[in-house]
């Protein structure tokens, strides 16, 4: 059925188009908001690319324990350590074999441990974002050379393979 310009059918089509455009605008705003949340929670590497080499991986047998519980990023003493992901600093200080250690707890309860630091540049209760400097590489605790030992502990429980966790979050060490 044809409608003359300005007739009821044309007005109904225009109203539908306006509703569609409003719904698309809401969807775009929601996607933009979600995108910014994802960007805030993006994971990164603890040491700048090209400034480290991996020396010990999760599960290997080593000098200090029955198996290695983290991933070691060897770099010169004083190299900047950056937060892998955004969260809250829940521990910062000396911890025996781990040396100077910072723990960042993510919103989902996952803990990321940064061990053997020369310096700790954050304090308990501080919020950090991915890529933010939190300390420097060192040789504190039980070590054979300067590196940052990274542990990923979902829910604050037992450690999981940090390499696999990083890859799952879009980074390959």
Instruction: Say whether both 20 and 93 belong to one domain.
Output: no
* Residue 27 backbone zone (phi > 0: left; psi -120 to 50: alpha; other: beta): alpha
Residue 48 lies in a domain: no
3-state secondary structure of 70: coil
Q: Taking residues 109-129, what's their average pLDDT?
A: 97
The residue segments making up the domain with residue 126 are 53-168
pLDDT bin (cut points 50, 70, 90) of residue 76 is very high
Residue 173 lies in a domain: no
Compute the chain's Rg from CA coordinates. Answer: 24
pLDDT > 90? residue 14: no
Instruction: Say whether both 122 and 143 belong to one domain.
Output: yes
pLDDT in tens, 59-74: 787 665 567 899 999 9
pTM over 0.75: yes
Contact 95, 167 (CB under 8 A): no
């Amino acid at each position: 059925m044809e409608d003359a310009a300005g007739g009821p059918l044309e007005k109904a089509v225009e109203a539908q188009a306006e509703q569609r455009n409003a719904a698309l605008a809401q969807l775009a705003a929601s996607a933009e908001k979600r995108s910014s949340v994802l960007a805030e929670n993006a994971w990164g590497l603890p040491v700048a690319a090209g400034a480290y080499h991996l020396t010990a991986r999760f599960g290997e047998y080593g000098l200090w324990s029955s198996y290695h519980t983290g991933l070691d990023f060897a770099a010169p003493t004083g190299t900047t350590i950056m937060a892998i992901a955004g969260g809250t600093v829940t521990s910062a200080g000396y911890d025996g074999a781990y040396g100077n250690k910072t723990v960042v707890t993510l919103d989902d309860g996952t803990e990321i441990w940064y061990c053997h630091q020369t310096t700790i540049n954050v304090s308990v209760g501080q919020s950090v974002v991915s890529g933010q400097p939190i300390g420097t590489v060192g040789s504190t605790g039980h070590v054979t050379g300067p590196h940052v030992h990274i542990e990923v502990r979902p829910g604050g429980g037992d450690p999981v393979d940090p390499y696999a966790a990083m890859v799952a979050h879009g980074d390959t060490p």
